[in-house]
Structures are given as C-alpha cells and as structure tokens.
C-alpha cells in the first residue's frame, strides 16, 4: 500500500515537472510599428527582436479593445468585456464572480503557482484585482521551488505617459521616422515619435532583463515565454481607436525544445500568419497548462495539442473613453477591416484630457486649427462616417475608406453580417447608452452580465435591428423609425430617435414628431430629441431641456456635456446648470467641467 502511494506521489510530481512554466511578458500601449522585428527600421528593440529569432512571430494578432482596462478585463476572464458590461473605460461594474472565474483560479486547479508583477486594471467590481494571485512580487527562488509557475511581468516603460513631456531631448534624428500617413509632417510630431522610440527601448531592456534572469536561474529550458503588448498605440489616433494603429499588437512566443510538439511551425524564427484575438489568449494559456477551460470562455485555442480551428474574424469594440462618449464596433479578417460607428456625430479627435497632454496631439490640433492639414491629415478632427472599410494589406494606416466602392459590395455585406452575428453571440452590452444600462440593471438588482442575457429586459435583437435602420440613413425609413418611437422599450425608442436625428441631414423631420420625446422616460432619448430641435433652429428648446437635465443631475449628464462641446455652443449659457450637476459618472463629469473652465475637486487619474 505504501509503495503504491509513493509511486502515485512520484507520478504526480513527474507530471507537475513536465508541465511547462509560462512567463508572460507584457508591455503597455505599443502596436507592432514600434518593434523592430515587425519591420520598422527605426525601432530599437534588440531583445524582443532576438526573442522573435528564437521563437515564433505572430503577424495577425489584435486586441479586442484599444485601451487597457477593457482589454485586461477580457484577458482575466476569457470573456469579452463588451459581453460582461465592463467595456466602458474605468467603470468597474460587477460581474457574477460565482460563475465567471479569473484564469489564475483555473491555473491553480492545475497545480500552477501564479504570480503577477504587477499590472491588474481589470475594470471589474466585486473582487480585489490581486485576490486571484499567489504573489505580486518577483522572486526567482520562489519560482524555482513552486514549479510549474505562471508568471506575469508587465513593463510600464512604454505606457502612453512616457510619450508625454519634453520631446526635444532625444538623440535620434527626427528625419529617421516612419511617419504614419494620417499624421502631418511637422517637427514636433517627428520629435514625439523619437521620444517614444526611446521609451520603447527602455521597455525592451525590461524584457531583456527578464529573459536573462530566467536563463541565469536555469529555467529557460522548461519555460514558454510569451511577449505582447496590451493593445495598440501610442501617438494620437492609435490608442483608443479601432484602426490597425490601436489594435494590431506584437505577439512573440518562444517554446523550448522540450515542448517542441507545441511549436506552431517546423522551425524557430518563423512567422505565423494566424488570426489571433486577445480573447483567445486566456483559453490558450489554460489549455497549454492542462487547466480547466469552462464553456463560458469566448476564445479559441490557437496553440498546442488542443489547437482549435482558426477564427475567421476578429471582433473589437470602443465605447466611452474616459470623459468622452463614443460607440464603435469593428470586425476584420486577414485583409479587410470593417468599422461601424454608432455615434457618427461624434468626431474622432474629441479633446480628451489625458491624450491632449502629449505634445504631438497639441501640435496636430494647432496645425489643424490653422487650416494647414490636408483631407487625410485633417480627417481626425471631423465627424465620422457611419461605416468604414479598409484593405489593410494595401492600406495599413487605414486612410482610404472603401465603403462606397461598388467592387467591395460583397466583402462589406459579409463583414456586416459577421459583425451582427458576433454581437448577438456575445450579448453585446453596448447597445444601450452606458448610464441607461446601469440604471436599468440596478433597478432589477442584477449585474449587467445577467441583464443583457435576459431578452425580456434587454431586447438585443430589436436594438440591433433598429440601430441598423438608424445607420442606413435612408429617408424611405422615416415612417418605420417614426413608428418605433411608440415602442414600449426605451432602447428601441432611443435608436429610432438617433435614426431621425441622422435623417435631418437629408430631410426635414416634423417637430410634432419630436416634441413628445422631450418628456420621454429615457433621458438619452430626451437629449437626442433636444439636439434635433437645436439642428432645426430651435436652440431655446434644446438648451432648456439640457439645462434642466443638468440641474437635476441626470444620469445622461456626461453625454450632454459632450454634445455641448461637439456643437461648439457657448458654454456660458450652461454655466450655472453645469455647476449644479452632481452626477459623477466615475468623476468624468468633472473632467468635462474642467474642460469648460469650471474648477472642481477632481483628483482622478486616467491611464
């Protein structure tokens, strides 16, 4: 009996040692264009480039969100943030933690020691971000003793904030810059490129240090090393945006000879042309570790013995970014990127407090205000089309919108259908305005996750159908949209109102149709109806509605602040109402107040 038990323990120990350690090296905010191995001759990333030579470089890896909090929310759960209600930046809405585990919880079940140094930012309420980890400190001695281990090391050296400050001190020649086509060719922007190249070099040094320590501690031969950024960036029109610049990320994986059966190609120093979505990473790391992969995981295993069929499309999303409202979806295959703008009236280049700290952003803004930009370089400061299509193989900077080209009709329809199907499959929680959704879920005393999965509460199919009508912008749909204003579901009424708002560019909408909407139970319906009056020339009615809602601290206050800025109305007309507004929206209302020159006690920080 004792011999049997001993053999069992020996077998268990052998299995544990046979499992690969995983070292996940992450950096912040840099897309592929800042890494030498991806083809930029001006990048200075020798350690990452060497890792690529020793491993496998993935050419088609994309973040689901172009900013950290929703991106990392997706990672930690293996569920798209947009599917849980954790998609708005820095919101921390709760999820059902009894049903949705964090991936370290599952790794521990497989016998892994899990440590994270030290970035969390999971954007999820109801659980401390550090709760799932065994440690938030790096100790190589401990790692050797605790094998198998899963160790996350995050470098902050490439974070957006490192692109701030004095950009004139780099020793790099400003002429030696691969300037994006959407950026005007002005010295400050070139200098900011170099300033950030310097930051990425420091990040690369962090990667090199970790790899050296792994080797020095004798762990390299049984550790899979993964390197990638947490989303794209970081010069203006990259981070926070669903273009290549905001979502196309480096992914390099080195697998020791001991685990050669896991290689994605026959030899190292190979490129892997496989479409990988960030939501796939969670399930893949769990699979490599022999950990449970629950049915709620929304990714696909892209590496290893349990590799699944390659995904045909990658899906991504943008909603509120800090104090700025927006609502965008994107879907892509290996060649084409399709973008749907649910708020086309909001410009790309909204002045966002944090982004405007960057010298390149300030210089670009000034250059545009001086009317020096071209159709391409000035586009960032304009309102958006309702749809966009880019051939990323020919146009990696995504400047040539092909949406109206008849030869792409079939591609467009394919991607439109794929996007809608994906939104239905994941229970897209962004088809109601954020604060409206929060109010409704709170009234039912359930999480947003559960709210959007109940069709009696959240009629996603109706929202998608009505929003499709709204974005077609076809006067022939006037009667259908008008009829939907009578729907009992405020979400349907909201999208019908948006549809009528969009039609105002082409036809006159009878004020008698709009008037009842000013008293709608949905504050978001009210503010869009008021905006219709404003566009019709009745600014008095519009301002009266907005000011009243602000004075009452409406849950739609942040959107009202945004609208006043978008239409460039005189803020002094709203000053007292703005000051009276006490709705916080995560302190982002105060951010907008400050943009209008109203002093607040805002001490929040956004990354």
How do the domains of the chain map onto residue ranges? Answer: 2-162+196-305, 529-607
Residue 364 clears pLDDT 90, i.e. is over it = yes
Please, are residues 421 and 432 in contact by the beta-carbon 8 Å criterion?
no
Q: What percent of the chain has pLDDT over 70?
A: 96
Phi/psi for 304 (5° steps) reads 105, -175
- pLDDT score at 340: 98
- Lowest mean pLDDT segment, chosen from 107-111, 526-530, 603-607: 603-607
- The rounded distance, in Å, linking the Cα atoms of 556 and 554 is 5
603 has pLDDT over 60: no
Give the gyration radius of the chain's Cα atoms. Answer: 25
Asked if residues 18 and 236 have their Cβ atoms less than 8 Å apart, the reply is no
Looking at residues 287-303, what average pLDDT do you find? 98
Say how many C-beta atoms besides its own lie within 10 A of residue 273's C-beta.
12
- The predicted pLDDT at position 435 comes to 98
pLDDT digits (tens, 9 = 90+) for 161-202: 999 999 999 999 999 999 999 999 999 999 999 999 999 999
H helix intervals, 19-97: 46-54, 68-77, 81-84
Burial class of residue 61, CB neighbours in 10 A (0-12, 13-18, 19+):
buried
CB 42 within 8 A of CB 135: no
Picking from 357, 360, 404, 446, the residue whose alpha carbon sits closest to that of residue 95 is: 446
Q: Name the phi and psi angles at 502, rounded to 5.
A: -65, -35
- For the cut 90, the answer to whether the pLDDT of residue 12 exceeds it is no
Answer whether residue 14 shows pLDDT above 60: no
Mean pLDDT, rounded, for 573-594: 97
Rounded Cα distance, 36 and 596, in Å: 42
Please state the rounded mean pLDDT for residues 84-94.
97
Q: Label residue 601 by pLDDT band (50, 70, 90).
A: confident
The alpha-helical segments, DSSP class H, found in 377-477 are 409-426, 434-444, 448-451, 460-472
Please check the confidence at residue 221 and state whether its pLDDT lies above 70.
Answer: yes
The predicted pLDDT at position 5 comes to 36
The C-alpha angle with vertex 60 and arms to 193 and 289, in degrees rounded to 5, equals: 110
Coil, strand or helix: which one is 527?
A: helix
Residue 16: pLDDT band with limits 50, 70, 90: low
The Cα–Cα gap between 547 and 553 comes to 10
Other CB atoms closer than 10 Å to residue 192's CB: what's the count? 30
Position 252 scores a pLDDT of 99
Confidence band (pLDDT; 50, 70, 90) for 17?
A: low
- Dihedral angle at the C-alpha atoms of 332, 276, 84, 427, nearest 10 degrees? 40
The whole-angstrom separation of Cα 231 and Cα 62 is 8
Q: How high is the pLDDT of residue 270?
A: 98
Q: Is the pLDDT of residue 37 over 50?
A: yes
Residue 344, Ramachandran bin (φ over 0: left; ψ between -120 and 50: alpha; else beta): alpha
pLDDT at 602 (0 to 100): 62
Higher-pLDDT residue of 603 and 209 is 209
Question: For the residues 136-155, what does the mean pLDDT come to?
Answer: 98
Q: What is the band of 126 on the pLDDT scale with cuts at 50, 70, 90?
A: very high
* 0.85 surpassed by pTM: yes
Number of Cβ within 10 Å of residue 498's Cβ equals 25
CA dist., res. 570 & res. 344, Å (int): 22
110 closest CA partner among 24, 26, 22: 22
Q: Do residues 66 and 316 make contact, with C-beta atoms less than 8 angstroms apart?
A: yes
Domain 2-162+196-305 has CATH 1.20.1260.10: no
């Amino acid at each position: 009996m004792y011999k049997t038990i001993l053999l069992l323990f020996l077998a268990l120990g052998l299995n544990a040692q046979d499992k690969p350690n995983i070292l996940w090296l992450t950096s912040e905010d840099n897309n592929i264009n800042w890494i030498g191995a991806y083809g930029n001759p001006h990048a200075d990333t020798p350690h990452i480039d060497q890792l690529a030579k020793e491993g496998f470089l993935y050419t088609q890896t994309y973040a689901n969100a172009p900013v950290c909090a929703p991106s990392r929310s997706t990672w930690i759960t293996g569920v798209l943030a947009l599917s849980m209600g954790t998609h708005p930046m820095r919101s921390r809405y709760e999820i059902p933690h009894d049903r949705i585990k964090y991936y370290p919880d599952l790794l521990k079940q497989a016998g892994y020691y899990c440590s994270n140094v030290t970035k969390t930012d999971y954007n999820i309420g109801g659980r401390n971000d550090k709760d799932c980890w065994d440690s938030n400190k790096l100790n190589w001695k401990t790692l050797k003793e605790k094998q198998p281990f899963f160790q996350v090391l995050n470098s902050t050296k490439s974070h957006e904030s490192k692109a701030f400050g004095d950009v004139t001190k780099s020793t790099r020649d400003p002429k030696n810059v691969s300037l994006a086509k959407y950026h005007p060719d002005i010295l400050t922007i070139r200098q900011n490129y170099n300033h950030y190249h310097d930051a990425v070099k420091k990040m690369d040094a962090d990667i090199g240090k970790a790899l050296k320590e792994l080797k020095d501690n004798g762990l390299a031969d049984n550790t899979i090393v993964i390197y990638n950024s947490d989303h794209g960036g970081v010069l203006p029109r990259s981070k926070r945006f669903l273009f290549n610049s905001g979502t196309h990320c480096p992914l390099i994986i080195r697998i020791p000879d001991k685990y050669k059966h896991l290689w994605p190609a026959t030899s190292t120093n190979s490129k892997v042309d496989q479409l990988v979505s960030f939501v796939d990473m969670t399930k893949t790391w769990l699979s490599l570790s022999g950990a449970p992969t629950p049915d709620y995981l929304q990714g696909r295993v892209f590496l290893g013995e349990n590799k699944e069929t390659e995904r045909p499309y990658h899906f991504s999303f943008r909603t509120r970014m800090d104090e700025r409202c927006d609502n965008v979806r994107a879907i892509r295959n290996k060649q084409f990127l399709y973008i749907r703008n649910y708020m086309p009236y909001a410009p790309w280049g909204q002045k966002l407090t944090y982004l405007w700290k960057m010298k390149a952003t300030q210089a670009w803004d000034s250059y545009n205000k001086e009317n020096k930009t071209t159709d391409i370089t000035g586009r960032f400061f304009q309102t958006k089309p309702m749809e966009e299509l880019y051939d990323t193989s020919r146009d990696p900077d995504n400047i040539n919108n092909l949406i109206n080209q008849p030869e792409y009709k079939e591609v467009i329809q394919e991607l439109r259908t794929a996007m809608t199907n994906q939104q239905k499959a994941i229970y897209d929680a962004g088809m109601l305005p954020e604060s409206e959704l929060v109010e409704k879920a709170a009234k039912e005393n359930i999480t947003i996750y559960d709210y959007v999965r109940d069709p009696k509460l959240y009629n996603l199919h109706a929202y998608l159908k009505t929003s499709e009508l709204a974005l077609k912008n076809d006067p022939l749909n006037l009667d259908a949209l008008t009829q939907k204003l009578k729907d009992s579901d405020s979400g349907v009424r909201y999208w019908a109102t948006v549809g009528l708002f969009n039609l105002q560019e082409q036809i006159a909408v009878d004020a008698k149709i709009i008037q009842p909407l000013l008293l709608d139970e949905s504050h978001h319906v009210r503010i869009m109806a008021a905006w219709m009056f404003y566009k019709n020339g009745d600014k008095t009615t519009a301002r009266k509605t907005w000011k009243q809602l602000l004075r009452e601290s409406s849950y739609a206050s942040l959107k009202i602040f945004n609208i006043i800025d978008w239409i460039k109305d005189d803020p002094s007309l709203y000053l007292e109402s703005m000051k009276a507004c006490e709705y916080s929206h995560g302190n982002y209302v105060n951010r907008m107040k400050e943009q209008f020159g109203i002093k607040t006690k805002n001490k929040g920080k956004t990354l």
